[in-house]
Chain A
Amino acid sequence: MTASHELGFVRKYIFSVDHKVIGIQYLLTSLTFLLIGLTLMLMMRWQIANPGQPVPVVGGLLESALGEPAGEGKISADLYNSFGAMHGTIMIFLGVVPLVFGAFGNYLVPLQVGAGDMAFPKMNMLSYWLYVPGGLIMLVSFFVPGGAAQAGWTSYPPLATIIPTDGQTYWLVAMLFIITSSLLGSINIITTVIQLRVPGLTWMRLPFFVWTEFVTAFLLLLAFPPLEAGCILQLMDRLAGTSFFMPHGLVVSGQPATGLSGGGSPLLWQHLFWFLGHPEVYVLVLAPMGIVTEVIANNTRKPIWGYRYLVGSVLAIGFLSMVVWAHHMFVTGMGAGIATFFQTTTTIISIPSVVIMTCLMLSLWGGSIRFTVPMLFALAFLSAFGIGGLTGLPMALPMSDVALHDSYYIIGHFHYLVAPGTIFAVFAGIYYWFPKATGRHMNQKLGHVHFWGSLVCMNLIFFPMLIQGLAGMERRMSDGGYNYSAAHPSNEGVVGALSGTVMQLNGVIGWAVLALGAFQLPFIYNFFSSAFAGRRVESDNPWQATTLEWQTPTPPPHGNFVQEMFVYREPYAYSLSHSTQPLTSTRKSNGSNGKILDFETQNQPVAMANGNPAKQEAPV
C-alpha cells in the first residue's frame, strides 16, 4: 500500500526521501561525530594533564596516521591546536546541529504536525547528502600536510590565513557544504510547519518542540549566510591572495608581507563570524529545550506551565540573538557606546531563557512525576542549564568580562550548556522516542548506569573549569597552563601564577573525561542491542503521551498516518478532566485555551479520527 515497499534497498535506506529514514541517517552520522569529538578531547585532556608525555595506547597509531605533528606519539602544539579547533567544529557544526535539527527535527516535526512527510522530500535528501561530504572533508583535513585547521573553531585571521596548512582551506570548503545543507534543512522545516499542519492544529496548539525547531530553522536560515560570506572572503584570502582580513604592514615571522596589498580588517571576520556564532549557540540549545519540555510534560502527567510564555520567550530569543554577537568581542577595544548596546542586549536576552527555565520548573509542581530515564536526563538538563546560563551573566558585562575572557571559565560556561545541557537533552530525546522509531524499548538498567555515570563525570569535568578560569587559567593552552604555573622555574616570585591545586585539577578532569567516555559504552551497546532485541512496545503509545507522533503505527510507515485526523485541543492536555479549578484559572495557569476536555484517562490521544463528536466543538 505505501510506496516504500516497492523501493529497493538503496532508494529506501541510502538515498531515501522519507523524513524518518533521513532523520535516522542524521542521527547515526551526528552521533558518530560526537564520538569523534569526544575522542579528540580525550587525547587533548591527556596532553593537558601530562604535557609532553606520549599518548598511551593510541600514541603509536597517531604517529603512523598523522606523522610528524604526532612525533613519538606525543601531541605537539600544532596537533593540539588542530584537535582543539576540530573538536569545536565537529561538536558544533557536525555533531549537535545536525543532531538536534537534522535528526530530531527531521524525524519529529512532520509527525508532530501530522504531516505525511516534509514539504520538499528531495531537498531533504539533498541536505543530508551535502552534510556527509562536508563532514568527510573535515575529517580528511586531518591527513593533509600540516594537518587540520589550527586557528580554533573561530578561525580568526590573520592567524587562520598565514598558518601553513591546507587544513584551513578544507575547513572553509567543508563549512560551505555544511552551511548549504542546513539552509536547505531550515527551508524545509519552516515550510512544513507553515503548510502541512493538519486541520485544527492552530499555532497555539503546536507542541513546544515544533516551536523551538521553527525558531531554530529561522536562526540557521538568517544567521548562517553572513558566515558563508565570511568563508568566501577567507577563501579568497587564502587562494586568490586578497587582503580582506589582512591589515597594512603585516609582518609574517619577522619579514614584512610584501605581495599582500593589505588594507583589510581582522575585525571584519570577527563580526561576520559572531553574527552567526551567537545565534548558533541558541541553535544548540533551543531544540533541546523543546525535547525537555515534551519529556517533562509527559512524565509529570500535567500540562506545561505557561505554554504561551514559552512560545513568547523562544520567539524573543530568536529575535534578540541577532543583536548580541559583539559580546564575544568586548576586549577588542570596544568604545563606550557599542559596549553599552551589546551588554544591554546580552543581559536582556537572558530574561527569556530565565522565563523558559522558570516555566519548566513550575511545571513540576503538582505533577505526578515518573522517574523514567528520559525524565532523569531532562531534570539534569534543567540544573545544568542553570549553571551554564548563570555563568553567562558575569561575562555579559565587559567590566567583569575582562577578568574572565578567554579563560576556562568560558569553557565551563558553555560546556554546562552544551554537554550536560544539550547532550543530555539529546539523550533524553533518544530514550523517549526510541520506542516510536523502533517499536522497542531501550534497557532501563543500562540507561540508569549511563545517566548517573555521565552526570557525575560531567560535573567533575566542567565545574573545576569554572574554578580554574577564575584563578586565571587560559583556554587553548597546549600545555595545560604549565608555563603560567608557579611550578615553572621562570615564574618563581611571580604573584598570580597558577597554584599547584589549580594545576592538579587538570588531572581530575582528565580522568573524569576518560570515565565519561567509558560511561557512554553502555549507551552505545544499549542503543544497538535494543534496536534489534529490545523489549517490544505493548502499544503505539507506550508513554501515554498526548502529542500527534504517538498516533501513528509503530514504527511509522512511509506516509506516517493511517487515519485522517482533526486536532481539537492544545498539545499537553494531561489529566485535565481532574482539574479541581474553575475554567478561568485553568486558562490562566496552563495557558491552554481554557477548554476543559471531555475525557477521563490521562492518555487520551490529541486527535480523533474524522467524524468524532469532538470535531463539532472545534474552533474554525
Chain B
Amino acid sequence: MDGTNKLLASALSAWQFDWLNLPQLASRHGEDVDGLLLGLHNVMLLLFVGWIIYLFFVLWRFRAKRNPQANPVGVKTFIFVLLIGFVVVEEAVTLFGAGIPLWNNFVTVYPDEKQATVVRVTAQQFTWNARYPGKDGKFGAQHHTLISAKNPLGYIPSDEAGKDDVVPPLKDIRVPLEPIDADGDGKQDVDLLGRPQFKPVIIYLTSMDVIHSFKVLPLRITQDAIPGMIIPIHFMPTRLGKYPITCAQLCGNGHATMIGWLTIMDNSPQRAADGTIITPGAFDRWQASHVAGNAPQGGFE
C-alpha cells in the first residue's frame, strides 16, 4: 500500500520533472502555462519515442532480406483504432480540461483596477514608453494633434489629471511585489490552493506606429501592441527580479534592439514601532522620483 503510494509519488514527480529549460517563472498564471507545456511535451515525447521505436523495429523486422515476400494483409484495425483513440482522448483532455478553461479564465477574469497596479505601456519604434496614473489614479488626457518628437504620446500638458502622472525613463517598467491582505487579518491572503496572493498588475497596451509585441517570457505573457487599439493584459507577479521585455513582432530594422526591462520591486515600507511609515517602499520612492509634472513627456532616446 505504502509502496504503491511511493511509486505513484515518484511517478508523479517524474512526470513533473521540468526538462524544457523554460526561463525563470515570475507570475501566477505562468504556473498553468508551464504545467500545460510540460504535460503536452511529455505526451509528445511518449508518442514520438514509441513511434521511433516502432519504426526501427519494423524496418529491421520486415527488411526485404529477412522478409522477401510481403504479406498484403495489414495490421488488425483495432490497433489503429487504439492508437487514434489514444491521441483523440489525449487531445480532448488537454483541450477541454486545460486549454479552453485556462485561457477563458485568463482573458475574462480581470482584477479590480483599484486593487491593482495600473500601467499604460505604449510601444514605438524601437522603444517602450510607460506611464503610471499617479496618486489620483487618473491618466492625463491625450490628443493626437499634439504629437511631436518632443511629446510623442501627445499628452495635453495643461491637463490636471496628468500633473501627477509618473513617467519613468524609456524601456524601464517597474511593478511592486506587494502581499495583499484584503481580509485584514494581518496575514497575507492565500488562494484556494494555498498560494500567497500579491497585488495584481494591469497593463494597457498600445502602439504609436507599427505592430509590436509585448512579451515577457518570465511572466509568460505575450500581447501584440497594435496601433489604433488599446488592449489590457493582467498578471500577478510572484517573484522579485529584473526581466527582459522582448519585442515579439517584426517592427523594422531596430526590431532586434527593442529590448526593455520589467522590474518587479520590493515595496515594503520601513515602519516605526507604532507602525507609522518612516521611509516608504522602494517602489513608491521610485515612483515619487519620476512624477511628470507639466513637462512634455516621453521622447526618443
A371 surroundings in chain B (CB, below 8 A):
63-64
Contact B224 A333 (CB under 8 A): yes
Residue of A whose beta carbon sits closest to that of B33: A403
Q: Is A369 within 8 A of B24, CB to CB?
A: no
B88 adjacent to chain A (CB < 8 Å): yes
B220: which A residues are within 8 A, CB to CB?
A: 402-403
User: Do A398 and B103 touch across chains, with their CB atoms under 8 A apart?
Assistant: yes
Whole-angstrom distance between the Cβ of A327 and the nearest chain B Cβ: 12
User: Among the listed stretches B177-185, B251-259, B286-294, which one makes contact with chain A, having 4 or more residues with CB under 8 Å of it?
Assistant: B251-259
> With the chains together, A476 CA to B54 CA distance in Å?
37
Q: What are the residues of chain B within 8 A of A474 when measuring CB–CB?
A: 215, 246-248
Task: Pick from A470, A495, A579 the residue with the most CB of B within 10 Å.
Answer: A495
Complex: A267 Cα to B36 Cα, angstroms: 28
Known contacts A332-B224, A335-B107, A472-B246; is-contact A347 B95 (Cβ 8 Å): yes
Contact present for A351 and B40 (CB under 8 Å):
no
Contact B229 A333 (CB under 8 A): yes
Contact assessment for A494 and B40 in the assembled complex, using a CB-CB cutoff below 8 Å: no
Given contacts A495-B242, A579-B73, contact A394 B100 (CB under 8 A): no
Bound-state CA distance A392–B213 (Å) is: 21
Q: Assess whether A487 is interfacial by the CB under 8 Å rule.
A: no
Q: Is B55 part of the binding interface, using a Cβ–Cβ cutoff of 8 Å? A: yes
A478 CB–B CB distance under 8 Å: yes
Q: Output the nearest chain A residue to B68 by Cβ-Cβ distance.
A: A368
Closest-by-CB residue of A relative to B91 is A347
Please state if B248 and A251 are interface contacts (CB–CB under 8 Å): no
**In the complex, A432→B300 CA distance in Å?**
60
CB neighbors of B among A363-409 (8 A): 363-371, 379, 382-383, 386-387, 390-391, 393-394, 396-407
- Tell me whether A247 is interfacial, beta carbon within 8 Å: yes
A569 to chain B, nearest CB (A): 13
A contact residues, range = 35 or more
Interface 1/0 per residue, B24-37 and A, CB below 8 Å: 10100000111011
Q: Does A529 contact B (CB under 8 A)?
A: no
With contacts A266-B211, A470-B21 taken as known, whether A158 is within 8 angstroms of B74 at the C-beta atoms is no
Mark interface residues in B132-153 (1 if CB within 8 Å of A CB, else 0).
Answer: 0000000000001101110010
Contacts of B48 in A (CB 8 A): 386-387, 390
Any B CB within 8 A of the CB of A415: no
Is A541 engaged at the interface, CB distance under 8 Å to the other chain? no
CB within 8 Å of A: which B171-207 residues: none
Flag if A588 contacts B40 (CB, 8 Å). no
A233 to chain B, nearest CB (A): 16
Please give, as numbers and ranges, the residues of chain B lying within 8 Å of A335 by CB-CB distance. 107
1/0 per position for A474-499, CB-CB distance to B under 8 A?
10111101111000001101111100
Interfacial residues of chain A within 308-326, with CB under 8 A of chain B in the complex: 309
- Complex CA distance for A262 and B75, rounded to whole angstroms: 62
- Please indicate the chain A residues that have their CB under 8 angstroms from the CB of B26 in the complex: 495
Complex contact B152–A251 (CB within 8 A): yes
Q: What is the CA–CA distance of A118 and B65 in the complex, to the nearest angstrom?
A: 41
A414 to B254: give the CA distance in the assembly, Å: 26
B11: interface (CB < 8 Å): no
**Most chain A Cβ neighbours within 10 Å, of B44, B147, B227:** B227
**8 A-B pairs whose Cβ atoms sit less than 8 Å apart in the complex:** A334-B107, A347-B99, A362-B75, A367-B67, A479-B257, A482-B256, A483-B256, A495-B218
Lowest 5 CB-CB distances: which A-B pairs, in order? A247-B228, A397-B99, A249-B144, A77-B253, A496-B23
Further pairs besides A387-B48, A402-B220: 9, Cβ < 8 Å: A150-B252, A158-B209, A253-B209, A262-B228, A300-B70, A351-B87, A363-B74, A386-B48, A399-B99
Which residues on B are within 8 Å of A, measured CB to CB? 20-24, 26, 32-34, 36-37, 40-41, 44, 47-48, 51-52, 54-55, 58-59, 62-64, 67-77, 79-80, 83-84, 87-88, 91, 94-95, 98-100, 102-104, 106-108, 124-125, 144-145, 147-149, 152, 154, 208-211, 213, 215, 217-218, 220-224, 226-229, 231, 241-244, 246-257, 259, 261, 300
